[in-house]
Amino acid sequence: MDIEIGIQNVARTVTFTTDEAAETVTATIDRALEEHKPIVLTDNKDRRIIVPADSLGYVIVGSEQRHTVGFGNLG
C-alpha cells in the first residue's frame, strides 16, 4: 500500500510503500498523535520512517488492493 505523508513547513512529501495493513498504519499514527510521540512506520524494504507527530500536516493511506500488470485482463 502506498503512503504519503505531508510535514508542516516542508515542501516535499514523504512517499513510500508498505506491506502493513491500513488499520495498522492508521492505529500507529493515531497513537503517536495522542501521545505526542514520533510516528514510526516501516516500508516494504525494512526501512524505518520517523516523523514527529506534532509536525504532521496530513497522511494519505492508499489502497491495499494490488494492481495487475500486463495485458492479461484485456481479453
Residue 56 pLDDT grade (very low, low, confident, very high; cuts 50, 70, 90): very high
Assign residue 61 a region (left: φ > 0; alpha: ψ between -120 and 50; beta: otherwise): beta
Is pLDDT above 60 for 30? yes
Contacts of residue 53, Cβ cutoff 8 Å, sequence gap at least 6: 29, 32, 33, 35, 36, 37, 38, 39
Is pLDDT above 90 for 33? yes
Residue 62 pLDDT grade (very low, low, confident, very high; cuts 50, 70, 90): confident
How does DSSP classify residue 23?
H
The structure's pTM equals 0.78
Please tell me the distance from the alpha carbon of residue 57 to that of residue 6, in angstroms, as a whole number: 5
- Nearest in space to 29 (alpha carbons), one of 47, 55, 8, 10: 55
Average pLDDT, the chain: 88
Is pLDDT above 70 for 67? no
